[in-house]
Amino acid sequence: MSDMKVLIFGGIYNNYLALEALLEAAEKEGVDQIYFLGDVGGFGPHPDKVFPYLRDTKNIFLMQGNYDHSIGNRLEDCACGYTDPRDNYFAQISYDYTLENTSDENKDFLKSFAPEFRRDWAGKRILMAHGSPRRVNEFLWESTSPVGFLDYILKASDSDVLFVTHTGIPWMREFRDGRKVVNVGAIGRPANNGKTTVDYVIVNTNTLDITLHELAYDHVRLASEMAAEGLPEPFVQTILTGWWTTCLEVLPARERARGIH
């Protein structure tokens, strides 16, 4: 297939307003296919509002993240891999809220999502995974994913170009031979950079040009809906300021130092 434009994103975290803005952007850009790398729920308000967008969009491919696995199977927690009690405390509030407010039909829908996607674009082996090819909840951060390690990950997973999400902070590393590893970030919450925008990528499948994009959406409205739903105040602050207030302990020292909390 020649010269196709593809949009790849992850981590909706109940942020249906960002999803709506993303789909509008896709339309404007003339995108041919959309790939979602997982994690529909968590963090934001009104979980069921996301689902109509996912069901009604044409040419969208849906992957299951750890959160989707947990909600789909009605598990007790999100298996996000946090170690800090404060992180777990807030994560549990938002998990319980999401579990309670996701309809049975939507929970079952999550179970139908794919574990990974493989494609052949421009003769390269493309792999999309949620956390990493080897573990759904592995965090691939920029400052702790050295070149030699990524080389191993690509070889072990028979791929040349890898797309992941799960951490919520986008980055891209290119090898001299043209192989690439891209973390597409998340559209559900900002990337701990003091901006209220969220992130996704667009790929030209012919040239394999990959561009990181920032997306603005009505974050003020999202924040007020979160507050009205009684979701944790630190989460609301993150949406309004662009700085993470929780889940900080999973950040490597380098990424942590970029934030203000």
* Site residues for other proteins per CB under 8 A: 83-85, 135, 141, 143-146, 148-149, 151-153, 156, 248-249, 252-257, 261
User: Toward other proteins, which CB reaches closer, 3 or 249?
Assistant: 249
Least spacing, CB of residue 240 vs other proteins, in Å: 20
Q: At what angle do helices 85-100 and 233-241 cross, to 10 degrees?
A: 90
User: Toward other proteins, which CB reaches closer, 20 or 84?
Assistant: 84
User: Toward other proteins, which CB reaches closer, 32 or 81?
Assistant: 81
Least spacing, CB of residue 194 vs other proteins, in Å: 15
Least spacing, CB of residue 150 vs other proteins, in Å: 8
Nearby residues of 76 by Cβ (< 8 Å), 6 or more positions away: none
Least spacing, CB of residue 181 vs other proteins, in Å: 13
Q: ∠ CA(51), CA(37), CA(98), 5° rounding?
A: 45
User: Toward other proteins, which CB reaches closer, 13 or 244?
Assistant: 244
For residue 128, give the nearest of 167, 81, 163, 168 by alpha carbon. 163
Taking the CA of residue 89 as centre, how many other CA atoms within 13 Å lie in the half-sphere pointing to its CB? 8
Least spacing, CB of residue 255 vs other proteins, in Å: 8
Burial of 231 (0-12, 13-18, 19+ CB in 10 A): buried
Give the containing element (helix H, strand E) for 202: strand 198-204
Phi first, then psi: give them for residue 180, nearest 5 degrees: -145, 150
User: Toward other proteins, which CB reaches closer, 81 or 224?
Assistant: 81
Are the C-beta atoms of residues 31 and 211 closer than 8 Å to each other?
Answer: no
Q: Which residue has the tokens 């404007």?
A: 28
User: Toward other proteins, which CB reaches closer, 149 or 220?
Assistant: 149
Least spacing, CB of residue 244 vs other proteins, in Å: 11
